Amino acid sequence: MKSDIATHANNGAAHDFDGQVQQVAKIILSNRADKYFQENVPNAGLGRASLHSGIIVVAARGVGLMSQVVSIIILARLLTPHDFGLAAIIFSLTSFGPMLIDLGTSESSSQKTSISRAEISTLFWINLMMGVLLACILIALSGPLATFYREPELTGIAIFTSITFIASGLTIQHSALLRRAMQFRSLAAIDICANVISSVLSIAMALTGWGYWALLTKTVCAICVTAIGVWFSCRWLPMRPHYSPEVKKSLRFGMGVTGFLVTDNLAKSADRIALGYFYGASALGYYQNALLFYGNVLGLLADPLHPIAVSSLSKLRNSLNEFRQSWTTALSTLSFVTALIFALLAVAGTDFIVILLGERWAPAGTILCIFAVRGIAQTFERTLGWLHVSSGRSERWMKWGLFSSVCQIAAVLAGLPFGVIGTAITGTIIVYLLFIPGLAYAGRPVGITTTDVVKAVAPQIVAGLAAIALGLLARHFVFHDFNEIVRLVLTGSLCAAVYFLIAVVLFRVTKPLTLALSVISDYTMRLSRNS
């Protein structure tokens, strides 16, 4: 009897202890999550913090880009253009999926002045539900897709790719909370891990004869690693969903963002969807590999800055002068860097592709040069969201997206009869025709005019296009007999020299250089203090 009483007492004590441990764990997790729900207001040193965050994220993307480049180099020598074309078909058709899953809620969560745990939890379950729904739809359509493109392999490809939709649903709100707290260092580390792990896995699969499955696994693995990483870093656990007026407001805001992103992405995918159908997977493979290099460079330069710019500008939207000044400075600095990089890529793109991927991929080099010319203007177009989202006017973004998408699809239709090259050229022309009106339209509610846009980017565009023209002339008429490596170095050096001469000496665009020196000085001082 006494032993039974003692045992019962011990069990009770153990139960109480376990309950206390669980309670303490909940308190710790709650305290860790508090920082994600603090009021989103300006603070001292915001500009400097944003600049350093941008450097961290861009550096992380640089590491990711290097892993992407290395993997593409290896995979292009192991796989065929047809393999790349199959992957391009499914990715072009499913690229809008994460946007529908998000429903613009990540932008809403990161830019709102205040947000509650209940609201974030409800948005999380909505995102996950959308991910599961889209995964089921893709699985159901896997057979018809294979029939439409006359590629039986697409059935299994579509089913496997559906995993990415569910993983995206699990990731969105945790990533948004990390951005809201400006924890870009954690996001950068996750991005590096996802890129490196997925690249290593895809190369291993290609070496062991898995063919196009290596390309598909690379994407699926990257998204799954990202999901695990943001959950581990954020340490926020969703509660039961509770629909409220604030959730409704977030969804209404998000619909504008989603409307733009989906229509814009469908327009940008129209070229690959059409080329895959009319010209086959092999021709699309050349186009896709050129697009991979171009997209990685564009993503490195523009995409990492979006969450930082939105988080920073959102804090300044009640002070229009500071808002306008910060945005024009950021745009001018971005254009200085991007115009130079894309000018170099436009001049040396063909040699670059042949050196890295081999002679059989030379047709992709010509396409890459055309994309690079487009990149000077398309980087600016990527900043439209900075203005629309940070000022809380997502509906204007959607309206512009609808107009822009119609123009982009018209450009694809105009270029399609002229093949892959013609489609790339018409797509480039329409980007240049739209980006200044697009930025002016986005900036009108906050007092940013067409003149402001032109002043911020015109010198860099002129310098970039002039450098491309002189570099290509030198490549074809002066350096044409040199081997690819020597020609790349010589034309690249000439292109860079012309760019700096026009941008810095002629137009006196020096602020980006001043900011660069300031950042170098900051890090030098930090290193000296640590030592």
pLDDT of residue 27: 45
The residues, any chain, with a CB within 8 Å of residue 160's CB and separated by 6 or more, are 213, 216, 220
Q: What region, left, alpha or beta, does residue 238 occupy, with left being phi > 0 and alpha being psi -120 to 50 degrees?
A: beta
In terms of Cβ atoms closer than 10 Å to its own Cβ (0-12, 13-18, 19+), residue 514 is exposed
Residue listed under structure tokens 């860099």: 460
- Rounded to an integer, what distance in angstroms lies between the CA atom of residue 435 and that of residue 382? 9
pLDDT at residue 15 tops 90: no
Which token pair is 282?
Answer: 């092999």
Which token pair is 417?
Answer: 């009869």
In terms of Cβ atoms closer than 10 Å to its own Cβ (0-12, 13-18, 19+), residue 132 is middle
pTM of the model as a whole: 0.72
pLDDT of residue 427: 93
pLDDT of residue 210: 92
**Mean pLDDT score, 1-13:** 51
Beta carbons within 10 angstroms of residue 134's beta carbon:
22
In terms of Cβ atoms closer than 10 Å to its own Cβ (0-12, 13-18, 19+), residue 291 is buried
Per-residue pLDDT tens digits for 204-249: 999 999 999 999 999 999 999 999 999 988 878 888 877 777 777 7
Among 20-24, 116-120, 288-292, 515-519, where is mean pLDDT lowest?
Answer: 20-24
Using DSSP, state whether 443 is helix, strand or coil: helix
Please, are residues 377 and 461 in contact by the beta-carbon 8 Å criterion?
yes
Please, are residues 238 and 173 in contact by the beta-carbon 8 Å criterion?
yes
pLDDT of residue 508: 87
In terms of Cβ atoms closer than 10 Å to its own Cβ (0-12, 13-18, 19+), residue 490 is middle
Which token pair is 171?
Answer: 């990731």
**Mean pLDDT score, 146-159:** 92
pLDDT at residue 367 tops 60: yes
pLDDT of residue 163: 94
pLDDT of residue 474: 92
Residue 29's pLDDT band (boundaries 50, 70, 90)? Answer: very low
Q: Of 253, 250, 121, which is closest to residue 174 (Cα–Cα)?
A: 121
pLDDT at residue 61 tops 70: no
Residue 180 CA to chain centroid, in angstroms?
17
Per-residue pLDDT tens digits for 95-116: 888 888 888 777 766 666 677 7
* Single-letter amino acid, residue 243: Y
Beta carbons within 10 angstroms of residue 385's beta carbon:
23
Output 128 or 326, whichever has higher pLDDT: 128
Please, are residues 107 and 303 in contact by the beta-carbon 8 Å criterion?
no
pLDDT of residue 245: 78
Domains of the chain by residue range: 48-530
pLDDT at residue 348 tops 60: yes
Give the helix/strand (H/E) hosting 448. Answer: none
Share the mean pLDDT of the chain: 82
pLDDT at residue 290 tops 50: yes
